[in-house]
Structure 1
C-alpha cells in the first residue's frame, strides 16, 4: 500500500473549491429564476409557471445536496491531513477514502442535475419549434 502524505488530500483543495464555486453559481442562478417565476406566477397564475418552479425546486434540492457532499468531502480531506499530521496514518487513509466517496456522490448528483436541466431546456425548445410550425 502506498503511503498517504499531506500533499495527497491537499491536491483536492483546488478542485473541490472550483467545484463548490460552480455549485454556488448554479444555486444563485436558480434562486434568481425562482424569484422571477414567483413574481410572474403571482401576476399571471399560469400553471406552466408552477411546473417550471417545481422543476427548479428539484434542481435546487439536488444542488443543495451536491454542495453538502462536496463540503463534507473537503472536511474529510482536512481531517485526513490532520490525522496524518498527528500520526494516525491508517485512520487517515479511511478518512481520505470516505472523502473521495463523498466527492463521487456530489459529482453523480451533478450529472443528475444536468440531465434534468437539459430536459427542461428541451421542453422550451419544443415549445418554440411547435409555435414556429404553426406559424
Structure 2
C-alpha cells in the first residue's frame, strides 16, 4: 500500500470547496422560490402550489444533507492531515477513507436531487404544453 501524504487530502480542498459553493447556490435558489410560492399560496390555496412546496421541501432537505456530508468530508480531510502530521498514519488512512465515503454520499444525493429537479421541470413544461394546446 502506498503511503498517504499531506498532499493527498489537501487535493480535495478545492474540489469540496467548489461543490459546497454549488450546494449553497442551490440552497439560496430554493429559499427564494419557496418564499415566492409561500406568498402565492397565502393569496390562493391551490393544490399545484402545495405539490411544488412539497417537492421543494424534499429538494431542500436533500441539499442540506449534501452540505452536511460535504462539510464533514472536508473536516475529516483536515483531521487526516493533522493525523499524518502527528505520525498517526494508520488512523489517518481510515479517517481519509471515511471522508471519501462521505463525499461519495454527498455526490450521490446530488444525483438524486437533480433527478427530482428535472422531473419537476418536466411537469411545468407539460402544463405549459397543455395550456398552449387549449389556446
User: Aligning the two structures, in what range does the TM-score lie when normalised by the shorter sequence?
Assistant: over 0.9
Q: Runs of 5+ in structure 1 lacking a partner? A: none
- Look up the match of 1:77: 77
Q: Deviations over 1:73-101 (max 9, x none)?
A: 00110010000000000100000000000
- Look up the match of 1:60: 60
User: In structure 1, how many angstroms separate the alpha carbons of the residues matched to 2:123 and 2:45?
Assistant: 20
The CA RMSD measured in Å over matched residues stands at 0.5
- Look up the match of 1:104: 104
Q: Runs of 5+ in structure 2 lacking a partner? A: none
- Look up the match of 2:45: 45
User: In structure 2, how many angstroms separate the alpha carbons of the residues matched to 1:103 and 1:48?
Assistant: 35
- Look up the match of 1:91: 91
Q: After TM superposition, give the deviation of residue 65 of structure 1 in Å.
A: 0.2
What is the number of residues matched between the two proteins? 135
| TM-score normalised by L of structure 1 | 0.99
User: In structure 1, how many angstroms separate the alpha carbons of the residues matched to 2:14 and 2:2?
Assistant: 23
User: In structure 2, how many angstroms separate the alpha carbons of the residues matched to 1:5 and 1:133?
Assistant: 62
